[in-house]
C-alpha cells in the first residue's frame, strides 16, 4: 500500500527540476544565474509543498466530512528539526529530488543544510511529540498537534574557552516555507482581573470573570506528512499578539505609547521557549504561556466540534480526546470546566463527567524538582476563576473520592490534595492531571511501575487501571531511513521494502548476523558514516579523529542524573592508565559528547567546562599517541543527531537507575547498530530484553539496590577511599593539570561528588562502569563478535518504532479509528 501511494507522486527528476526552477522564478523572484543556496532550498521546499498542501487540504476535508474522532496532542514542545529531507522521504521523492538538483549542478545534501532546525523543544519530551505526530499521520489517524509558535526556539550553544555561551535561536527570521498563517481562526484569550459572584432569578449562583487583559492567539499551521503521504495532519502553533479589544479607548485618549507597551507585553508570551529540562521554573510568564496555548486550543477544538454538532455537548467525549504531554498543559482541565460551567451553563457534575472522559496525561519524570507546582498567590493573580474551579474540583474529590476510600485519613488527604498546604500554598499540577484524566501513563515499563508504586500509589488504589504504561518509540523514517541511507539500502536488499512501517521485519537480519559478507557490508557502512562524522568533527572543533577508532557517543541534555560526569571520570582514568603504562591494552577510542546545559544550571555548566578542558589536554598530549580522543560537539540538536547517530559504535545510557523515565536516544543509537553501555533504567531494560543480554553491556546498581543503599545511608567517601584510581582521578580536579595556571577551576565537580553527597551515586557505580568498558574493549577487538552485536541491535529494535507506541495509545487510551483519505 505504501509503495502504491508513493507511485501516485510518480514524478521524473526532470519534472521535479522544472517545478523547482519555476518556483525559483515565480515564488522566489530570482533565476538560475543569481540564486543563492538559500533561494534554491526555498524553491525546492515550494516544489515539495505543491504535493504536501494539496494532501493536507484533502485530509482535513475528509476528516470533517467523516466527522472523525481525533486526538489533540497538547504540548509546549515540538522538536521537529528539519523538514525537507523528511518530507521527501515520506512522499517517496528523495531520489527524484536528489537527481533533479544534481542536474542543476547542486548538491542535495548541501541544499538540505540550508534549513534551520525547528527547535521548539528542549529534548526528549519535545522530540517524542515530533515522532508521535509523524506516526499518527503515517498510520492514518485523525490528529492535531497543538503548541506555541515560539519566535525563538532552544538557544544555540557556542563553546568559548571551554564554556557554554547561549545565543538566541531565530529559526524563522527569514521566513519558513512549511507554515501557513490562519488569521480566520484567531482566538481571544482573557487573563488577570477578578471574579464577580452573581445570583440569577432562581437563586442559582453564577460566576463572571472580568479579565484585566485580552490576548490574541494567531494560529500557524504546519503540515505533518505521513510516510506514504496519504494522510497529512496539521501541527497548529499559536502566536500571541495584542488584541484591539480594549485598546480603542487607550488610543482615543492619546495613549499611543501605552498601547505599544501593551503590544510588547502581549507578544512576549510566544517570544521564547523556556530552556529548562526536567526542572520547574515557577515563573509567571511560563504559566501564562501554558494557559494561552491551552485556551486557544480548546476554543479551536470547540469551534470545530460545534460546526458538526451545534450546542449539544453529549457527543463531545466521543469526538475529542486531549493528550496532555506532561503537566505543562494541565490548566486545560480547569479551562474546559470553566467553559462548560460558566459559558455553556452545564451543571458541575455533567461538566466534570465530560472532562474526565476527554483528558489523558503522560508523566515523563519522577524527579521531585521537575514536578510542577504553582503558588496559589500567582495562580489567583493570573487565572482567578481557574483557581476557584481547582478548589471546587479538589474539595469534591477529597469528599466524594478520598473519604470513602480512606475514611478519616487526613494524612492521605494531605498527600492527594491538589493544594499543598505549607509556608506558601501551592497548586500541584500532577495531582490535578491524575484527578482530571481517565488514563495516566508512564513512558517505559519500569518508569510506569515506579509512577504507580512511588509517585501516585494511593491514586492507583482509588482508580485501579487508570495508571498504565506506553513505552516510548522513535520514528524509523527520520532515525534510520533518512539519516542513514546507506544502511537503509543494505537493509532493503534483505528485508521487505516496507520495513520503515513494519519495523519488526528487521528481525530477518538476525539470520545474517554471522554472515561474513553481510558483516563486512554492515561494518563498512558504519565506517563510512564515521568518516563523514570525522569531517564534521574536524569542521566544528578542529580535532582530528581516526575513523577506525571506537566511536563512543553520549548525546542528551546535560543533567547530573544522566551522569556525563561518570563518563568524564572514566575518560580521565583511561588517560591516567595510558600515561602510567603506554602499552595499556585498549582499542583506539574517541569519546564524543553533545549536550546543552540549561542556562541557569550551574553544575551542568561546570561539567561542560570540565569535558572541554579534559578534551583540550588529552587531544594535545603526544604521549598517548592518539589512542584517546575526546570531542565535545557544540550546539547539539536534531540535525546534528542525524549525523552522529549513524556513526556510533557505543551508546552511553548511564543514568542512575530510577531517574531516566525512558530515554529515546538509546533507541535511535541501537537501531543504527550501536551497542549500549547502560544501567537498568528506563527503556534500557526493554532494549536489553529485545537485543538479548549478550548484545548490550549492563552495569551499575538496580532500582532496588539504589533504594537499599539510600536507606542504609550512602556515603561517597567510602568509594573514594576504597578505589585508588577513583581517588586519584577525583584529586586531579583540585590541581591545575587541565586548567594550567588556574588550580581548583574544576574543584566544584569533586565537591558535588563528595562534599555535597553525590545525589546520583556516581561513585557507587564507578567500578562497575569501568569493568563494563573493559568488556566493551574486549568485544570490539573481536571484530566478528562486534559486527554480530551491532547487527543484532539493528535487527531487534522493531519494538521501538513510534508507530507501535501510537498503536498502544490508540488501543488502550484514545480508541481511534484510522481514516482513509481518498
The residues of the shown chain that bind ligand 26Q, judged by CB under 6 A, are: 122-125, 128, 274, 276-278, 280-281, 286, 364-365, 370, 372, 443, 472, 660-664, 682
Measure Cα distances from 146 to 88, 268, 436 in Å.
24, 19, 19
**Between 73 and 575, CB nearer to ligand 26Q:** 73
**Between 491 and 661, CB nearer to ligand 26Q:** 661
Q: How far is the CB of 667 from ligand 26Q (least distance, A)?
A: 9
Q: How far is the CB of 443 from ligand 26Q (least distance, A)?
A: 4
Q: How far is the CB of 655 from ligand 26Q (least distance, A)?
A: 8
Q: How far apart are CA 595 and CA 561, in angstroms?
A: 13
* Residues annotated as catalytic (active site), given as ranges: 364, 556-557, 562, 664, 668
Under a CB-based contact definition with an 8 Å cutoff, are residues 520 and 514 in contact?
no
**Between 292 and 499, CB nearer to ligand 26Q:** 292
**Residues near 201 by beta carbon (within 8 Å), at least 6 away in sequence:** none
Main-chain dihedrals φ then ψ at residue 257, nearest 5 degrees: -70, -45
Q: How far is the CB of 331 from ligand 26Q (least distance, A)?
A: 13
**Between 108 and 561, CB nearer to ligand 26Q:** 561
Q: How far is the CB of 559 from ligand 26Q (least distance, A)?
A: 8
Under a CB-based contact definition with an 8 Å cutoff, are residues 142 and 233 in contact?
yes
Instruction: Determine which helix (DSSP H) or strand (DSSP E) holds 467, and give its type and residue range.
Output: strand 467-469
For Cα atoms 430, 431, 432, give the angle at the middle one, nearest 5 degrees: 90
**Between 48 and 294, CB nearer to ligand 26Q:** 294
Q: State the Rg of the chain over Cα.
A: 27
Q: How far is the CB of 441 from ligand 26Q (least distance, A)?
A: 10
**Between 96 and 130, CB nearer to ligand 26Q:** 130
**Residues near 343 by beta carbon (within 8 Å), at least 6 away in sequence:** none
**Between 126 and 162, CB nearer to ligand 26Q:** 126
Under a CB-based contact definition with an 8 Å cutoff, are residues 229 and 410 in contact?
no
Under a CB-based contact definition with an 8 Å cutoff, are residues 118 and 102 in contact?
no
Q: For 303-331, give the secondary structure using H, E and C.
A: HHHHHHHCCCHHHHHHHEEEEEECCCCCC
**Residues near 349 by beta carbon (within 8 Å), at least 6 away in sequence:** none
HSE of 312, CA atoms in CB hemisphere, 13 A = 6
Q: How far apart are CA 787 and CA 338, in angstroms?
A: 59
- Which of 474, 511, 510, 445 shows the shortest CA–CA distance to 671? 474
**Between 182 and 373, CB nearer to ligand 26Q:** 373
Chain residue at closest Cβ approach to ligand 26Q? 124
Under a CB-based contact definition with an 8 Å cutoff, are residues 247 and 259 in contact?
yes
Q: How far is the CB of 365 from ligand 26Q (least distance, A)?
A: 6
Q: How far is the CB of 601 from ligand 26Q (least distance, A)?
A: 12
Q: How far apart are CA 529 and CA 401, in angstroms?
A: 57
Q: How far is the CB of 63 from ligand 26Q (least distance, A)?
A: 27
Under a CB-based contact definition with an 8 Å cutoff, are residues 604 and 744 in contact?
no
Please tell me what DSSP assigns to residue 340: I
Please tell me what DSSP assigns to residue 577: H
DSSP-based three-state secondary structure for 173: coil
Burial of 355 (0-12, 13-18, 19+ CB in 10 A): buried
**Between 286 and 508, CB nearer to ligand 26Q:** 286
Q: How far apart are CA 210 and CA 191, in angstroms?
A: 9
Q: How far apart are the first and last CA of the chain?
A: 13
Under a CB-based contact definition with an 8 Å cutoff, are residues 97 and 24 in contact?
no
Amino acid at each position: 500500500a505504501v509503495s502504491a501511494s508513493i507511485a501516485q507522486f510518480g514524478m521524473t527528476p526532470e519534472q521535479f527540476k522544472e517545478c523547482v526552477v519555476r518556483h525559483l522564478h515565480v515564488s522566489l523572484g530570482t533565476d538560475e544565474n543569481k540564486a543563492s543556496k538559500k533561494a534554491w532550498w526555498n524553491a525546492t521546499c515550494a516544489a515539495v509543498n505543491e504535493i504536501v498542501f494539496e494532501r493536507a487540504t484533502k485530509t482535513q476535508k475528509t476528516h470533517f466530512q467523516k466527522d472523525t474522532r481525533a486526538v489533540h496532542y497538547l504540548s509546549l514542545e515540538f522538536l521537529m528539526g528539519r523538514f525537507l529531507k523528511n518530507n521527501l522521504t515520506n512522499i517517496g521523492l528523495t531520489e527524484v529530488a536528489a537527481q533533479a538538483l544534481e542536474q542543476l549542478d547542486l548538491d542535495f545534501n548541501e541544499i538540505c543544510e540550508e534549513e534551520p532546525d525547528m527547535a521548539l523543544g528542549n529534548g526528549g519530551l519535545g522530540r517524542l511529540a515530533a515522532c508521535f505526530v509523524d506516526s499518527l499521520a503515517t498510520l492514518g489517524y485523525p490528529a492535531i498537534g497543538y503548541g506555541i509558535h515560539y519566535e525563538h526556539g532552544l538557544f544555540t550553544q557556542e563553546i568559548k574557552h571551554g564554556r557554554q555561551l547561549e545565543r538566541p535561536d531565530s529559526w524563522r527570521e527569514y521566513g519558513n516555507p512549511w507554515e501557513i498563517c490562519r488569521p480566520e481562526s484567531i482566538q481571544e484569550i482573557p487573563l488577570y482581573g477578578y471574579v464577580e459572584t452573581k445570583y440569577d432569578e432562581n437563586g442559582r449562583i453564577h460566576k463572571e470573570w472580568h479579565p484585566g487583559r485580552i490576548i490574541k492567539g494567531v494560529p500557524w499551521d504546519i503540515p505533518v506528512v505521513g510516510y506514504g503521504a496519504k494522510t497529512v495532519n496539521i501541527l497548529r502553533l499559536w502566536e500571541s499578539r495584542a488584541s484591539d479589544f480594549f485598546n480603542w479607548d487607550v488610543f482615543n485618549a492619546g495613549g499611543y505609547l501605552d498601547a505599544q507597551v501593551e503590544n510588547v507585553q502581549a507578544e512576549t508570551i510566544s517570544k521564547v521557549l523556556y530552556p529548562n529540562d526536567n526542572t520547574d521554573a515557577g515563573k509567571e510568564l511560563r504559566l501564562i504561556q501554558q494557559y494561552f496555548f491551552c485556551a486557544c486550543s480548546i476554543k479551536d477544538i470547540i469551534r470545530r466540534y460545534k460546526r458538526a454538532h451545534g450546542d449539544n455537548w453529549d457527543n463531545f467525549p466521543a469526538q475529542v480526546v486531549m493528550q496532555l504531554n506532561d503537566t505543562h498543559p494541565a490548566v486545560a482541565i480547569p479551562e474546559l470546566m470553566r467553559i462548560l460551567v460558566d459559558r455553556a451553563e452545564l451543571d458541575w457534575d455533567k461538566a466534570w463527567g465530560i472532562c474526565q472522559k476527554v483528558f489523558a496525561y503522560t508523566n515523563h519524570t519522577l524527579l521531585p524538582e521537575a514536578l510542577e507546582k504553582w503558588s496559589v498567590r500567582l495562580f489567583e493573580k493570573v487565572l482567578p476563576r481557574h483557581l476557584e474551579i481547582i478548589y471546587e474540583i479538589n474539595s469534591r474529590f477529597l469528599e466524594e473520592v478520598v473519604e470513602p476510600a480512606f475514611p478519616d485519613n487526613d494524612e492521605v488527604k494531605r498527600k492527594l490534595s491538589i493544594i499543598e498546604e505549607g509556608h506558601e500554598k501551592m497548586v500541584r499540577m500532577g495531582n490535578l492531571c491524575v484527578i482530571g484524566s481517565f488514563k495516566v501513563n508512564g513512558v517505559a515499563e519500569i518508569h510506569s511501575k515506579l509512577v504507580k508504586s512511588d509517585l501516585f500509589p494511593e491514586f492507583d488504589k482509588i482508580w485501579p487501571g487508570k495508571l498504565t504504561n506506553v513505552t516510548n518509540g522513535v520514528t524509523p523514517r527520520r532515525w534510520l531511513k533518512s539519516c542513514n541511507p546507506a544502511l537503509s539500502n543494505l537493509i532493503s536488499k534483505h528485508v521487505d521494502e516496507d520495513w520503515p512501517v513494519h519495523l519488526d521485519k528487521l528481525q530477518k537480519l538476525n539470520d545474517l548476523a554471522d554472515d561474513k559478507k553481510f558483516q563486512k557490508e554492515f561494518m563498512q557502512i558504519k565506517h563510512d558514516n564515521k568518516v563523514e562524522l570525522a569531517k564534521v568533527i574536524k569542521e566544528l572543533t578542529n580535532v582530528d579523529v581516526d575513523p577506525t577508532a571506537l566511536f563512543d557517543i553520549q548525546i542528551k541534555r546535560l543533567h547530573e542524573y544522566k551522569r556525563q560526569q561518570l563518563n568524564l571520570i572514566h575518560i580521565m582514568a583511561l588517560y591516567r592508565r595510558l600515561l602510567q603504562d603506554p602499552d595499556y591494552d585498549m582499542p583506539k577510542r574517541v569519546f564524543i559528547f553533545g549536550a546543552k546545559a540549561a542556562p541557569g544550571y550551574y553544575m551542568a555548566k561546570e561539567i561542560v567546562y570540565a569535558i572541554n578542558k579534559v578534551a583540550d589536554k588529552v587531544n594535545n598530549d603526544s604521549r598517548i599517541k592518539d589512542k584517546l580522543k575526546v570531542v565535545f560537539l557544540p550546539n547539539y540538536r536534531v540535525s546534528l543527531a542525524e549525523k552522529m547517530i549513524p556513526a556510533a559504535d557505543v551508546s552511553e545510557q548511564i543514568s542512575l537507575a530510577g531517574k531516566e523515565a525512558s530515554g529515546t536516544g538509546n533507541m535511535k543509537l541501537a537501531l543504527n547498530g550501536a551497542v549500549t553501555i547502560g544501567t537498568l533504567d528506563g527503556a534500557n531494560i526493554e532494549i536489553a530484553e529485545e537485543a538479548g543480554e549478550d548484545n548490550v553491556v549492563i552495569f551499575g546498581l538496580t532500582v532496588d539496590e539504589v533504594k537499599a543503599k539510600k536507606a542504609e545511608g550512602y556515603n561517597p567517601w567510602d568509594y573514594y577511599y576504597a578505589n585508588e584510581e577513583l581517588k586519584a582521578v577525583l584529586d586531579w580536579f583540585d590541581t591545575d593539570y587541565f586548567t594550567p595556571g588556574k588550580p581548583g577551576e574544576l574543584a566544584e565537580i569533586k565537591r558535588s561528588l563528595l562534599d555535597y553527597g553525590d545525589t546520583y551515586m556516581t561513585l557507587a557505580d564507578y567500578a562497575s562502569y569501568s569493568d563494563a568498558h573493559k568488556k566493551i574493549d574486549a568485544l570490539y577487538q573481536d571484530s566478528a563478535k562486534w559486527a554480530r552485536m551491532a547487527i543484532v541491535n539493528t535487527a531487534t529494535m522493531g519494538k521501538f518504532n513510534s508507530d507501535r507506541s501510537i498503536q498502544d495509545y490508540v488501543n488502550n487510551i484514545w480508541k481511534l479509528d484510522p481514516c482513509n483519505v481518498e
